[in-house]
Amino acid sequence: VLALLAAVVTVCFTADAADTVRLEVGSDASAAGVLQAAGLLFFAFAGYARVATLGEEVRDPARTIPRAIP
């Protein structure tokens, strides 16, 4: 319930900042932007893969891991 409330509040405060022009590929697309996105995706995948590795170290993984990942 709190997560939904936080999402609604965030949308209310940022609704006027939303613009579809930001989604278009323009002249600001660069190799540096691609490298930044690749770095972010690498760390996101590495963190997600860490769950599988550390899952065998937890006492009750079927109960503990779903509680740790919202």
- Residues 6-33 pLDDT 10s: 988 888 887 776 677 766 776 667 788 8
Which pair of tokens denotes residue 48? Answer: 């997600």
Percent of the chain predicted with pLDDT > 70:
87
Domain ranges of the chain: 32-70
Mean pLDDT of the chain: 80
Sequential DSSP letters for 6-40: HHHHHHHHHGGG--GGGGS--TT--HHHHHHHHHH
Position 64 scores a pLDDT of 80
